[in-house]
Structure 1
Amino acid sequence: MRILLTNDDGIYAPGLRALRKELLSLGEVMTIAPAAEQSAAGHSVTLLTPLLIQEVFDDERKPIGYAVEGRPADCVKLALLELLPWKPDLIVSGMNAGSNAGINVLYSGTVAAAIEGAFYHYPAIAVSLEYTKLKPLDFPKAATYAIQIIRQILRKPLGAGSLFNVNIPSLEKGPIAGVKVVPQNITAYTERFDRRMDPRGRTYFWAGSDLDCPDPHSETDVTALAESYITITPLQYDLTAHAKLADLREQSWTVE
């Protein structure tokens, strides 16, 4: 199996390195990821500046791939169109430091990279690790869970463009409760900004790190993750509200 590995935390992120080590058990892995952290970059792409690349090596000076001065989606585009010497059988994005559940899926550079791969009709999996404390995360342990889930996803033939979002619960909370296949929660989070003033008297804001889901609903990714379940959510990127097409087409549309 040939695997393209990417992320949004940057090519030197410990989560990516831990996941790469596990993915090597499946076959050949090429890593093409941002040179610097691109968290919450969403599906943005670079148009007005060049995409510089730099070859990256492991501790034994063996090449593992390329660092790209761009966004996660840029990395996947460049990988598929220019850098990969082969067509991948699978694209994996992660392992992200922090969960990507609920509406955070829409902001996530990790998920965006997986979606970009699905655009090109490759099966893709985004993997994230929830954290509850600002301390070093046990990415190696989380990666052992991630590879088990990836192996099980691969048991069935994956159609072109199949897309999955996997979240590993915080290991600080205790043992993993199990695995749940659940839908994405779409409730808006309660967000906070810290209002401050700089030395010149100008007001500025820091986005708060605590996000609360006021209506998590039962049996969604947010709820299951809070209950220490590994969550698997199949995604799609078609944003068309198909149920409304017929009603809109029945209207008489005119312009003058």
Structure 2
Amino acid sequence: MKILISNDDGFQAPGIVALHDALKDIADVEVIAPEHNNSAKSNALTLAAPLYVHDAHNGFRYVTGTPADCVHIALKGVLGYRPDLVVSGINNGANMGDDTIYSGTVGAAMEAYLFGIPAIAFSQIEKGWAHVESAARVARRLVERIERERMLDGPAWLLNVNVPNLPFDELKPIKVCRLGRRHAAEKVITQESPRGDVMYWIAGAGSAKDSGEGTDFHATAAGHVALTPLQIDLTDHANLGQWGETVTRLLR
């Protein structure tokens, strides 16, 4: 099994180091990750500037670009082979509900999925890397079982996994969940720059709005590992017919 690892926290982040250490004994693993933190970069690709790939002291490679850049150039120019699986993370903080739209961690995994390669994004619920080794053990166990069940041989899939910051023995079993929803984000932070200009800082994400049973928020709050299968199709299939009728009226 050949695995490509990436993330959005940068190649030196404790999460990616722990993930590499957990998977290196069960697969041929390569790490190609951003040089710096690229949180909330989603699926962004760098189109107006060149990208550079450098060798790091720890055997990883890092890219002067986004998480999606890393996976894209790895698959289409750097690796020279097609990995069986792409694993992204372990992220420093949750990627649940609406977070998945913005997440660079999910964006890296999604880039692989767009190329037809199975992919998993792993995140911890709380920031700070507490019990990151537990999340890495979850990742290893899940990857081992996926390989054992020959799930890498069929059509590509995309999984989003969130792990509570708990000792491994205290984690509850994986639950398959739907995405919850958050309230609107907190108000932007304004400051005055040294030159007297107004600076705006994007504030934190809002609290959970839809955190009922069956959501990733609900599962992780109870100590479960939350697994959500994702898809790319944003079409509002349920309302296609209604929109067809609406457009027909508009064009009369």
TM over 0.5: yes
Which residue is 1:178 aligned to?
173
Find the partner of 1:157 among 151, 154, 177: 151
**In the alignment, does 2:248 pair up with 1:252?**
yes
Unaligned runs of 5+ in 2: none
SS at match of 1:100: coil
Deviation at 1:200, TM superposition (A): 4.4
Bigger Cα displacement from structure 2, 144-153 vs 229-238: 144-153
User: Displacement, 1:162?
Assistant: 0.5
| Structure 1 CA distance for aligned equivalents of residues 62 and 193 of structure 2 | 35
Aligned mates of 1:176, 1:122 — CA distance in 2: 29
Instruction: Spell out, residue by residue over 1:201-224, the C-alpha distance to the aligned partner (whole angstroms, 9 max, x if none).
Output: 443333334631133222201111
2:86 maps to 91
Deviates more, 1:177-186 or 1:111-120: 177-186
Q: What's 1:33 paired with?
A: 33
Distance in 2 (alpha carbons) for counterparts of 1:7 and 1:129:
13
Matched residues in 2 for 1:198 and 1:15: separation? 34
**Structure 1 SS opposite 2:210:** coil
The one-character-per-residue Cα deviations of 1:63-116 (angstroms, maximum 9, x if unpaired) are: 44x211000111111000001131100000011111100100101000011010
2:77 paired residue number: 82
Cα drift, residue 176 of structure 1: 1.5
- 1:194 — aligned with what? 189
1:106 pairs, out of 101, 106, 110, with: 101
TM-score, normalised via structure 2 length: 0.89
SS in 2 for 1:248: helix
Per-residue CA distance 1:174-226 (angstroms, 9 max, x = gap): 92233211001134444233333344444333333463113322220111112
In structure 2, what is the Cα distance between the partners aligned to 1:111 and 1:151?
A: 21
Say if 2:50 is the partner of 1:50. yes
Residue 5 (structure 1) aligned with residue 1 (structure 2): no
In the alignment, does 2:133 pair up with 1:140? yes
Structure 1 spans left out of the alignment, 5+ residues: none
- 8 Å CA contact retained: 2:182, 2:206: no
* Residue identity in the other structure for 1:252: T
